[in-house]
Structure 1
Amino acid sequence: MRVMDVLVCTSKDQTAWRDALAARLPAARVHAGPDAPPCDYAVLWKPPGDLFAHQPRLKAMFSLGAGVNGLLAMQELPRDVPLVRMEGAGMGPQMVEYALHAALRELRGFGGYADAQAAACWNPGHARARRDLTVGVLGLGVLGGAVACALADFGFDVVGWSRTPRTLEGVDCLHGNDGLDAVLGRSRLLVMCLPLTPDTDTLLDATRLARLPAGAAIVNIARGELIDDAALLTALDAGHIGAAYLDVFRDEPLPPSHPYWRHPRVIVTPHIAALTDVHAACDQVADKIRCLEAGLPISGVVERDRGY
């Protein structure tokens, strides 16, 4: 019986990923790097394009990130091999924490208190109930759904939007173009949890930014390409958008000259809203490989025409 071969090819921490996966698949040969022999499965994060020319027998490919737009954009990616996205793997709770931080900062006016401190101004605000802050969540998949439900459980008024109908307890779920407009019109805080697809690229443009209530805040913990940067900066300068919490950007690392770094109403973080946990991710990949080897179905297979 032929021994199964698994390839791990990542842009960082490759040895740690290989060792963690090998511990979970003791009967397999787990290889690291693009020079591996032909393998049955590939576990990938930002692989070199010429990798696939040397991997003719792949049964499935696993992305180590929740988003797969980078892999799908590769011309060399085999079109006849299933691509499997990461589902959760410790990222959900981290995204909840990030969104909750922004929601509490907006609810309690902590940004205003930071400005007051800089001006040595003692200016107490008024108490607000959590239900007074409506949070819109765009994207209700595994991660976006977790964010929406957690914020609702914490007492915020939450309205969510997805491409197709969804039902989440405690969340007013809308869908379609009319649903998107309705969510934007209600959201004092808008959290972006959408995958990047041709339909979502620059979704938040000047027209849609204008539909948000005056003074609304935006949180982007999905992909930088979802937002028209120039339109957002214009809306921030005009005061229509009160704050932007940005963790993802079109160009990463964010160039030092980018105006986001110095804008007084922008909070920049370096793509840390949801970091993949090595052990949780390898548990998931190993379980799915075992299912595939047994001829069982798995979740997370990317529908390439949708982009997720």
Structure 2
Amino acid sequence: MRAFFAARAALWNSWAPALRAACPELDLAREGDPAGFDAVIYAPGFPKDGRAMDFAPFTRARLVQSLWAGVERIAPNPTLIQPLCRMVDPGLAQGMVEYCAGWTLRAHLGMDRFAQDGLWRNDCPPPLAAQRRVSVLGMGELGGAVADALAALGFRVTGWSASGRPRPGIEVLGGPDLHRALGRADILVTLLPDTPATRDLLDADRLALLPQGAWIINPGRGTLIVEDDLLAALNSGRLSHAVLDVFRTEPLPPAHPFWSHPQITVTPHVAAETRPASAAPVVAENLRRAMAGRPLLHQVDRARGY
């Protein structure tokens, strides 16, 4: 099989060896007649001149495999007529679990209270995890893994998704019950995709549903939160802190107020990364499925946008 590697040149040196090791029968190339390729392996940012990728010439391709978990920059492309699959990488999921668990524990334990200034502050021990409520918005591959990990640590976890699809061991609320999930969130973790239904989801009205002093941890999508409404909720004391890993504009401009706000922690989109070593077998499996005409893994529903 032949696959076209449609990603920035800087990714070639790490991805090409991993893909060839996972799929020895693969003929992987960065150039050639588009009509001669069976699949496209794609990452946003290609071509590098800012033009949208033109998938139309890849008339033989049976698959466009994204190297990213998010597909909001790919799915709307009008030239994309091939099946599109998003990346679900076990390494990416583990990275997201570690990020969310780490920041949830930091919020829960109040680690930032202990300034190294010689004062002995032992009058306010943290509660146990069973006394802390955490809500996870988005119960897909990443959100489900995060919810499971936090529940295993003893937190009282509520999940929410548009579908409300059940998950063993986690109470999952559905579409109309978003207000209930927010009302239970001493700590809110947001892992929703970027779709028309989720953009600006957390506006002033919904932020007001969170318990007094709640934390927000957002490694999902920067479009989920109305920035000015978040700043107002923090400034009023309604919310205690926000940990933000994703933004409407990336890199986050140096003059953006998030950088200097004392109740916001900015991390530079590092919560989870697709790692070639763990992701290449996922790509290989989908390539083989495409060639054999079998159902693809993690195929995107274009109507829903993920």
Taking structure 2 as the reference length, what is the TM-score of the superposition? 0.92
Task: State the 1:53 CA deviation.
Answer: 4.8
The CA distance in 2 between the partners of 1:62 and 1:295, in whole Å, is 15
Match of 2:304 among 286, 302, 306: 306
Task: Kindly indicate whether the alpha-carbon contact (under 8 Å) linking 1:153 and 1:170 is maintained by their aligned counterparts in 2.
Answer: no
AA aligned opposite 1:6: A
Counterpart of 1:13 in structure 2 is 11
Indicate yes or no: 2:67 matched with 1:64.
yes
Counterpart of 2:113 in structure 1 is 112
Task: State the 1:54 CA deviation.
Answer: 4.0
Task: Kindly indicate whether the alpha-carbon contact (under 8 Å) linking 2:23 and 2:281 is maintained by their aligned counterparts in 1.
Answer: no
The CA distance in 2 between the partners of 1:281 and 1:100, in whole Å, is 22
Cα distance, 1:23–1:127 mapped onto 2, change above 3 Å? closer
Question: SS of the counterpart of 1:66?
Answer: coil
Question: SS of the counterpart of 2:4?
Answer: strand
What are the equivalent positions in structure 2 for 1:216-295 lying under 5 Å apart?
Answer: 216-295=214-293
Indicate yes or no: 2:168 matched with 1:169.
yes
Task: State the 1:279 CA deviation.
Answer: 1.5
Cα distance, 1:237–1:121 mapped onto 2, change above 3 Å? farther
Q: How many residues align?
A: 297
Indicate yes or no: 2:84 matched with 1:83.
yes
Cα distance, 1:36–1:221 mapped onto 2, change above 3 Å? farther
Match of 2:32 among 29, 36, 53: 36
The CA distance in 2 between the partners of 1:141 and 1:130, in whole Å, is 24
AA aligned opposite 2:32: A
Counterpart of 1:150 in structure 2 is 149
Task: Kindly indicate whether the alpha-carbon contact (under 8 Å) linking 1:94 and 1:274 is maintained by their aligned counterparts in 2.
Answer: yes
Task: State the 1:127 CA deviation.
Answer: 3.4
Cα distance, 1:263–1:36 mapped onto 2, change above 3 Å? farther
The CA distance in 1 between the partners of 2:198 and 2:129, in whole Å, is 29
Deviations 1:80-113, CA, capped at 9 Å, x for gaps: 2110001133111111111111211121111222
Deviations 1:26-52, CA, capped at 9 Å, x for gaps: 2231012xx433211111111222443
Task: State the 1:120 CA deviation.
Answer: 5.4
Task: Kindly indicate whether the alpha-carbon contact (under 8 Å) linking 1:88 and 1:143 is maintained by their aligned counterparts in 2.
Answer: no
Indicate yes or no: 2:205 matched with 1:207.
yes
Counterpart of 1:132 in structure 2 is 131
Task: State the 1:295 CA deviation.
Answer: 1.9
AA aligned opposite 2:2: D
AA aligned opposite 2:111: F
AA aligned opposite 1:45: A
Cα distance, 1:28–1:53 mapped onto 2, change above 3 Å? same
The CA distance in 2 between the partners of 1:27 and 1:81, in whole Å, is 22
Task: State the 1:172 CA deviation.
Answer: 1.4
Task: Kindly indicate whether the alpha-carbon contact (under 8 Å) linking 1:158 and 1:170 is maintained by their aligned counterparts in 2.
Answer: no
Counterpart of 2:55 in structure 1 is 52
Question: SS of the counterpart of 2:293?
Answer: coil
Deviations 1:217-237, CA, capped at 9 Å, x for gaps: 001111101111111011111
Relative contact order higher in (CA < 8 Å, ≥ 6 apart): 2
Task: State the 1:14 CA deviation.
Answer: 2.1
Task: State the 1:59 CA deviation.
Answer: 1.2
Match of 2:77 among 52, 74, 77: 74
The CA distance in 1 between the partners of 2:301 and 2:53, in whole Å, is 23
Root mean square deviation, CA, Å = 1.5
Indicate yes or no: 2:190 matched with 1:182.
no
Structure 1 runs of 4+ with >3 Å offset: 119-122
Task: State the 1:65 CA deviation.
Answer: 1.0
What are the equivalent positions in structure 2 for 1:190-205 lying under 5 Å apart?
Answer: 190-205=188-203
Counterpart of 1:97 in structure 2 is 98
Deviations 1:160-201, CA, capped at 9 Å, x for gaps: 001112222331110012x11000011000000111100001
Question: SS of the counterpart of 1:71?
Answer: coil
Instruction: Give unpaired runs (5+ residues) of structure 1.
Output: none
AA aligned opposite 1:102: W
Deviations 1:254-276, CA, capped at 9 Å, x for gaps: 11001111111111111111110
The CA distance in 2 between the partners of 1:36 and 1:216, in whole Å, is 53
